[in-house]
């Protein structure tokens, strides 16, 4: 069976499990995931037994040529056609996912009698399978290789923004279509800001360099962070780096199907806390990565989610000493039954 047709079947199974009649979807990320057709303005209605797509006329023939397992049409009023189909099929419990909808369209669905229901498609996307795993591997290989190319070119006097632009060019030259998020290049004290906005600051002698970056390859995101010292590292930097490296190693070692994501967080956090730097680890340990740079599951102290084989997550502990430097080490990993595969090897 076509991987996209299978995803629709899996979504239909979830509808039955959750005692829902149908779900309406309008964001390209979800409709593309289900059909393989990645264009804006494609709306879908998926019931327990069928799937329909509604779109502008300019897309219809192309969609039909590429997607033969979904009934497609180009009505004058797309939202009206969705509502009419729901009435025709007497789908009493039709839902939409508020986290994927615009505010205005969500309100429109409510006026049609549709209810909010979270997490249907995100739960499907959390577990990667088939060709999407190899695509994700490729995205991560590009990012991993890029660090080895950019690091020797980072010299005293270079600006953070110049590194950003060159790193972007390097990844695109290897096949990436773009960045998976706004890259974070932090020199010196800027490395202590987890979400630093890359600036025109120049690199000085004997300063920390933190690079948090990733790319998109065939719609799949990668995420990686590397930190190093430009010049002669201080004893404090060497100590903190060693702690973060050991913490990250402990977190990666904890990743395995059946493990709660909060236990991966604990593996990293406990090591840093035991070393006396717990107050300086100021964010969660990781997140899912795939079609979005942040997706299910969440890896933090409160998460009750359980890892499954095929999930891809980041493991990214850090210590941030404000006004001095920060150290974060991050890899994207693929969960397996017995452990994990590090995808972002440098």
β-bridge mates for residue 229, sequence order:
208
Burial class (CB in 10 A: 0-12, 13-18, 19+), 76: exposed
**Shared domain check, 51 and 149:** no
Q: Do 287 and 298 touch, CB atoms closer than 8 A? A: yes
Strand partners, 121: none
Average pLDDT for the chain: 97
Which residues have C-beta within 8 Å of that of residue 128, sequence separation ≥ 6? 136, 290, 310, 311, 312, 334
Residue 178: strand pairing partners: 216
User: Which among 167, 175, 176, 168 is positioned nearest to 149, based on CA atoms?
Assistant: 167
* Same domain assignment for residues 161 and 241: yes
Q: Is 152 in the same domain as 19?
A: no
CATH number at 42 reads 3.40.350.10
The answer on 99 and 136 residing in a single domain is no
Q: Is the pLDDT of residue 320 over 90?
A: yes
> What is the average per-residue pLDDT within 13-19?
97
137 and 115 within one domain: no
pLDDT given at position 345: 87
Same domain for 81 and 113:
yes
Q: What is the mean pLDDT of residues 223-236?
A: 98
pLDDT at 2: 87
Answer whether 94's CB lies under 8 Å from 107's CB: no
Residues 149 and 58 in one domain: no
Which of 125, 154, 171 corresponds to the end of one domain? 125
Question: Tell me, what's the pLDDT at 1?
Answer: 66
Report the percent of the chain where pLDDT is more than 90.
99
Within 8 A by CB and 6+ apart from 239, the residues are: none
164 and 118 in a common domain: no
Q: How far apart are CA 13 and CA 30, in angstroms?
A: 17
For 179-196, what is the mean pLDDT?
98
pLDDT in tens, 92-121: 999 999 999 999 999 999 999 999 999 999
SS (H, E, C) 189-207: HHHHCCCCCCCCCECCCCE
In the predicted model, is pLDDT for residue 266 greater than 80?
yes
120 burial level (CB within 10 Å; 0-12, 13-18, 19+): buried
Edge to edge, the sheet with strand 43-47 lists 71-73, 51-54, 43-47, 22-25, 94-96, 115-116
Do 110 and 149 sit in the same domain of this protein?
A: no
Number of folded domains that form the chain: 2
Mean pLDDT of 12-39: 97
* Domain-ending residue, one of 102, 125, 148: 125
- Same domain? For 153 and 300 the reply is yes
| pLDDT digit string, tens, across residues 195-210 | 999 999 999 999 999 9
Q: Is the pLDDT of residue 296 over 80?
A: yes
Do 31 and 53 contact (CB within 8 A), yes or no?
yes
Residues 228 and 93 in one domain: no
What does the pLDDT average to over 15-26? 97
231 and 246 housed in the same domain: yes
Of 69, 100, 125, which marks where a domain is finished?
Answer: 125
Domain that holds residue 221: 131-342
Contact between 223 and 214 (Cβ < 8 Å): yes
| CATH at 283 | 3.90.230.10
239 three-state secondary structure = helix
């Amino acid at each position: 069976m076509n991987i996209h047709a299978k995803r629709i079947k899996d979504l239909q199974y979830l509808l039955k499990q959750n005692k829902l009649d149908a779900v309406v979807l309008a964001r390209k990320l979800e409709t593309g995931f289900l059909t393989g057709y990645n264009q804006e303005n494609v709306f879908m209605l998926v019931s327990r037994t069928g799937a329909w797509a509604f779109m502008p006329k300019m897309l219809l023939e192309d969609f039909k040529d590429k997607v033969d397992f979904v009934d497609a049409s180009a009505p004058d009023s797309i939202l009206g056609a969705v509502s009419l189909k729901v009435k025709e099929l007497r789908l009493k419990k039709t839902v939409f996912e508020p986290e994927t909808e615009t505010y205005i369209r969500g309100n429109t669905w409510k006026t049609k009698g549709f209810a909010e229901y979270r997490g249907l498609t995100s739960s499907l996307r959390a577990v990667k399978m088939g060709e999407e795993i190899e695509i994700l591997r490729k995205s991560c290989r590009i990012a991993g290789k890029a660090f080895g190319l950019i690091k020797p070119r980072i010299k005293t006097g270079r600006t953070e923004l110049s590194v950003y632009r060159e790193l972007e060019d390097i990844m695109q030259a290897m096949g990436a279509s773009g960045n998976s998020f706004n890259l974070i290049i932090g020199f010196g004290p800027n490395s202590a800001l987890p979400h630093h906005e890359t600036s025109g600051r120049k690199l000085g002698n004997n300063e920390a360099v933190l690079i948090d970056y990733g790319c998109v390859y065939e719609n799949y995101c990668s995420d990686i962070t590397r930190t190093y010292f430009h010049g002669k590292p201080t004893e404090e930097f060497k100590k903190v780096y060693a702690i973060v490296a050991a913490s990250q190693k402990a977190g990666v070692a904890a990743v395995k199907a059946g493990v709660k994501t909060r236990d991966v967080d604990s593996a990293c956090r406990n090591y840093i806390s035991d070393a006396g730097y717990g107050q300086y680890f100021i964010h969660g340990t990781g997140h899912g990565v795939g079609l979005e740079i942040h997706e299910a599951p969440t890896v933090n102290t409160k998460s009750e989610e359980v890892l499954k084989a095929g999930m891809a997550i980041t493991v990214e502990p850090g210590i941030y000493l404000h006004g001095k430097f920060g150290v974060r080490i991050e890899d994207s990993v693929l969960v397996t039954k017995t452990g994990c595969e590090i995808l972002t090897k440098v």
